Structure 1
């Protein structure tokens, strides 16, 4: 039985703040919070569920912050948001039924590839570029697939949304980050709906960490909106590489 002491609560709240800050800029907040929950002694299923609780707070704060700055139009993104939520529900529902070992083996390679892409590709800035996929097809096909992954596995989903917006939707880096947070919010909500039924999240702990996520995400979104791709690109590269290294370490 997990017992939350005052010392553990302080550490987990600090982890929530750091995760909110990083996740609002480049994604990968789960890289901080999920290991922190498991190291604190939360059983794996409850750690996944609790991580969704606190993650919703940070994603919502970042999404609202970006929308308030005019970086995402909620009226044109509701179909994509619903698709992300539906994908998250389905992925979380199948988390114990589908083999994910092969995906976990491939994920570090994919994340390293994302880091290399953003580190080396010239011309990646805050300006929009050529759209390679119609918005309706992007919302109907690409978004639910990443949302499904978010519910099924989780780590790296923000990076996948980000690269999809940049390479397929033609968004600049800052605009892609803003829209990523909106879709992250809905795939997190979808996963949480399912985990609330099957994972029994620790609601109080998740809410405490979520409040810290709000503060971290608000600060991160403010800095990203002010500095743009000069901050987002390096942090995205670093978080993708660190997440890949962590996944490889787990396999050894």
Structure 2
């Protein structure tokens, strides 16, 4: 697909804002996906390109946490493998769904995830009693990885919440492992999308630069208001874009 420089600039700016918000409150995909769809990019190409730009930010974060010895690779490598495989499977399945069906499914999923991001419970950094062993967590991680390959937004929140509530991790440890899991699911689905020729490489790389810059800025900026205000703003913008997409699909 051919785009003007203005489209590249706008989507890169949105990726910057999404990366900035994602570093503070999570859910950056709630901006990038509807923005790309609103620019006229087909659903599968949108999901593929979002995985391309997301792989850079999640990969960078994974390396940072790993260098600080905060990711337990020895314990969680089976989960990482399963998550990558399930995400790849979902990416393969979503490519077989007709575009007009996806144009209706994606806005519905956006509304559901927006509600989750807005209403999700706050978590603490205190480790608590684990309800599942690492092996028992495999199907949970696999299911979230499948969702990420099929759609994506909110995956980080799903991983973090499940690790805190089921594995008993504090928020910092959960966040470190969430980034590793997210990177695995991004790469697993991205490989399948690249094989299918769906990712818009140049646009994805431009948005990756914006997203990484936004994430860096957000993580190093002392916010006056923080996630309590950022989350409602994120959800409001996402729902506005989603309403536009639904109107286009239904009309």
Q: How far apart, in 1, do the equivalents of 2:206 and 2:113 lie?
A: 33
Q: How far apart, in 2, do the equivalents of 1:63 and 1:164 lie?
A: 18
Query: If the length of structure 2 is used for normalisation, what is the TM-score?
Result: 0.79
Change in 2 beyond 3 A, CA 1:43/1:112? closer
| 1:188 to partner: Cα distance | 0.9
Q: 2:190 aligns with which of 182, 189, 192?
A: 192
Q: 1:141 aligns with which of 136, 139, 142?
A: 139
| 1:53 to partner: Cα distance | 0.9
Query: Please, which moves more after superposition, 66-75 or 7-16?
Result: 66-75
| 1:244 to partner: Cα distance | 7.7
Q: Deviations over 1:160-217 (max 9, x none)?
A: 1121111111122232222212111111111111111225211111112112222223
CA contact (8 A) 2:30 2:238 kept: no
Query: If the length of structure 1 is used for normalisation, what is the TM-score?
Result: 0.79
Aligned to 1:12: 11
Q: 1:112 aligns with which of 100, 112, 115?
A: 115
Mapping for residues 52-201 of structure 1, pairs under 5 Å = 52-97=51-96, 108=111, 112=115, 115-119=118-122, 124-138=123-137, 140-201=138-199
Change in 2 beyond 3 A, CA 1:131/1:239? farther
Change in 2 beyond 3 A, CA 1:80/1:22? farther
Equivalenced residues, count: 241
Q: How far apart, in 1, do the equivalents of 2:9 and 2:117 lie?
A: 33
Query: Please, which moves more after superposition, 23-32 or 185-194?
Result: 23-32
Change in 2 beyond 3 A, CA 1:201/1:79? same
CA contact (8 A) 2:130 2:167 kept: yes
Q: How far apart, in 2, do the equivalents of 1:162 and 1:105 lie?
A: 23
5+ residue gaps in structure 2? none
CA contact (8 A) 1:115 1:236 kept: no
CA contact (8 A) 1:26 1:235 kept: no
CA RMSD of aligned residues (A): 3.2
Q: How far apart, in 1, do the equivalents of 2:176 and 2:11 lie?
A: 26
Q: How far apart, in 2, do the equivalents of 1:107 and 1:30 lie?
A: 9
5+ residue gaps in structure 1? none
